[in-house]
A and B are shown apart, each in its own frame.
Chain A
Amino acid sequence: MPRLHAKHRTEIRYAGPAGESVNEIRLSPVGDGRQSVEWAHVRVEPAAELLGHRDAYGNEVRWFQLVEPHERLVVESEALVVTRPSAPCPAGDGGFTGLADPAYADANAEFLVPSAHVRWDAGAVGAFAEGLDLDEGDGVLAWLSGLEAEVNRAISYTPGVTAVDTPVADVVGAGRGVCQDMAHVMIALCRRRGIASRYVSGWLHLPGHEGPGESHAWVEAAVPGAGWVELDPTHPRPAMEGYVRLAVGRDYADVPPLRGSYLGPPAEAMAVTVEVRELPA
């Protein structure tokens, strides 16, 4: 059970003074079955009071307002989290028949329908789905594992070619993207198949990878009889004890690390650095 110390820093520089800025931060880990939070702090620069609440998905949110003109905004979140691997899944899940249960569709409705960044149709996404060779005979979990691998194979990890709002169809068509895109693609394919699926944002510790990284995105799917299971198309068959969960939602739009509105010129530069290291037990 690794003790992970994570530090996440976002710095935005504006092309001139910005003011009247109201923002929400989603960078505070919450304790649950997979992690315990020893401590967590968030700070901003210029300094501001941070008001906290839990949103509709149980994510920790910090709200703040900056009135005076400023040309630079820094948001920093630091935490010490003890992570655990995923709970083992029962052998033989409810299978695909479990998906047909109206109670499943009702309880998970919002994760079964298209959302802001997850849309699909018969075009690029449909063709891609048809082209996958996934066997339903071994149950939902196995199918999801297969999908995880297929998405990883089909989308080559390429920073800089996609944007925050690149549609799933475009990612599939170009075959390139980053973890956020791969997560959205996998969610689209799950939902298309009737498997409730949602987006997880967080921090990833890859042993052996030192040096600053970025924030990470992966997927959760509701498996009948097993509950929400975490998957990562960017790093298939993930060792979840390297993953710190920050927020969950239907897709990126529900969990951006920082969102808000201000008066002023556009941002000139935005830099995000994440450092995660394992501390001795």
Chain B
Amino acid sequence: MLARVAETLYRTARDLERADALARLLEVSQAAALEGEASNGAGGRLVWEPLVRVVADMDGFLATHRRADERSVPWFVTFGRDNPDSIAACLSRARANARSVRDRLPSEVWEGVNDAWLGLADWTPARLTRDGVYLFCRGIRRSNHLIVGLVEQSMSRDEGWQFMRIGRFLERAERTARLVQARHGAGDATMAGALDRHGWRAMLGDASTHEAYLQVGAAALSPESIGRFLVLDPRFPRSAAFCVGQVESAIEDLVAMDAMPVDPAPLTLARTARDMVDGAARRPWGGAEVPHLLERLLARCESIDAALADACFVAGYERAPIGQRAQASRQAQN
């Protein structure tokens, strides 16, 4: 598979997953801001600021917005021009990328991506306020379900599909780890005050995650058990551990189909990431170990991304200096 095409499919899948994750986060934050202390004026501190911290950089945000509240943050996350990772920006990138490799995508998949992007044109800040964030986010989630469903149903399990799989699950692993990390704050996992319980529960996000958690840990509903579920559950497709497992499996499959050199760096890194979560699963969850684990896991995910670039996207043997130039000329001087 062309190196450029592999990279493009990988990034397209990451951007689609990112848009989906942001939509979920926004939806949950919106709901959380309506109740309890958050609705009593503490919404900025309890809901909106943490959301900004998870998805972007607070200083950057405050450079263009006076404060984080129920008006500034939703727009920032959905269409904010000062946000290179807004939902709209992610979908635009995904669409432009998908277009540049549309010959390698089933036309229905391309249509799904294109339709999702075309749908953005119908939204203005006024409509977002009027019809609500929920409607918008639900639209994004549904588009993504359609696209992922089409990918699953109509793509051959070739290199293209595998690279998309890596992109989707690597992004998802990072998002989950980052979410749990943000909730952990400065590292004390036992801060389970009433203030935070709502936040932890909200972290379970949408209904399906909540329901899946209830199947395994209903009684507990503690930060520890929720955090552990989101990071380590081996079966739920949104847990970091599950995602890391998928990334490892996809890289192994690529090696088996000769689409990657034997024993590539990304595989080693993916294996150690999985060892990390496997090891953590065998030990009791909690204490200072959790933020430490999450930090290492996030670092590992970033390394996998960089290693993929080195191994497949810009092949090592052709690490050419950038910039194409014409050879210098000199006049006949005599």
Contacts and interface: CB of A to CB of B under 8 A. Distances in A.
B334 A265 contact: no
A263 interface: yes
Interface in A178-225: 178-181, 183, 201, 204, 213-217
Interface in A133-175: 159, 162-164
A256 interface: yes
A263 B334 contact: no
Interface of A: 10, 12, 16-21, 23, 69, 159, 162-164, 178-181, 183, 201, 204, 213-217, 234, 252, 256-267, 270, 272
Interface string B303-325: 00000000000000000111111
Contacts of B208: none
B321 A214 contact: no
Contacts of A180: 331-333
Given A12-B328, A256-B329, A267-B328, A215 B323 contact: no
B327 interface: yes
A258 B332 contact: no
A16 B320 CA distance: 12
B330 A178 contact: no
A262 B333 contact: no
Given A217-B332, A217-B334, A257-B330, 8 more contacts: A163-B331, A180-B332, A180-B333, A215-B332, A234-B334, A252-B331, A258-B327, A261-B324
A144 to B, nearest CB: 20
Contacts of A267: 327-328
Interface residues of B, number: 15
B321 A213 contact: no
A3 B16 CA distance: 74
Contacts of B330: 10, 164, 257, 270, 272
Contacts of A272: 330, 333
A263 B321 contact: yes
Contacts of A259: 326-327, 329
Contact of B321 (A16, A216, A252, A257): A16
Interface string B147-175: 00000000000000000000000000000
A260 B324 CA distance: 11
A243 to B, nearest CB: 11
A179 B320 contact: no
A183 B331 CA distance: 11
10 contacts: A10-B330, A164-B329, A179-B333, A216-B332, A216-B334, A259-B329, A261-B324, A262-B327, A263-B321, A270-B328
B327 A23 contact: yes
Contact of A215 (B326, B328, B333): B333
Nearest to B334: A216
Given A261-B325, A261-B327, A266-B325, A214 B332 contact: yes
Nearest to A165: B329
Contact of B320 (A10, A183, A252, A263): A263
Nearest to A10: B330
A159 B331 CA distance: 10
Nearest to A164: B329
Q: Which 3 A-B pairs have the closest CB atoms?
A: A214-B333, A217-B332, A260-B327
A169 B62 CA distance: 57
A16 B329 CA distance: 18
A214 B327 contact: no
A252 B333 contact: no
A265 B333 contact: no
Contacts of B326: 259-261
Nearest to A263: B320
Contacts of B334: 178-179, 204, 213-217, 234
Contacts of A258: 327, 329
A148 to B, nearest CB: 16
B315 to A, nearest CB: 13
B320 A164 contact: no
A135 to B, nearest CB: 30
A91 to B, nearest CB: 31
Contacts of A257: 330
A149 B265 CA distance: 71
A264 B324 CA distance: 6
B320 to A, nearest CB: 5
B144 to A, nearest CB: 39
A204 B328 CA distance: 23
B323 A265 contact: yes
Contacts of A163: 331
A263 B328 contact: no
Nearest to B326: A261
Contacts of B323: 263-265
